Amino acid sequence: MANIKSAKKRIAVNEKKRVRNVVIKSKLKTAIKKFETAVIDTNVDVAKQEFLNATKTLDKAVTKGIIHKNLAARKKSRLALRLNKLQAVQA
């Protein structure tokens, strides 16, 4: 256990940030899973809505510094590809 006041503060701040990061990452994973479920069910309308929700969640995670912007761009690109394939099959 830390004895120095600043070290105790760092421990508290790091724990607070860790909890926040876990919450945001969990929301991100949930949004992506909902999109993937809609794609598997071949439900285009729901998939479009969940795609918008997932991209919004990815962008928020980037602005909060949870994930890197290139990671978000790569994930959005891959989700868009899956959505486009689903729309092509439905058409």
pLDDT (tens digit per residue) in 37-89: 999 999 999 999 999 999 999 999 999 999 999 999 999 999 999 999 999 99
Distance CA 40, CA 44 (A): 10
Structure tokens at 63: 């602005």
Q: Considering Cα of 37, then 41, then 45, then 47, what sign does the dihedral take?
A: positive
pLDDT of residue 29: 97
Indicate the pTM of the whole model: 0.87
pLDDT of residue 9: 97
- The residues spanned by each domain of the chain are 42-91
Please state at what angle helix 5-40 crosses helix 69-90, rounded to 10 degrees. Answer: 10
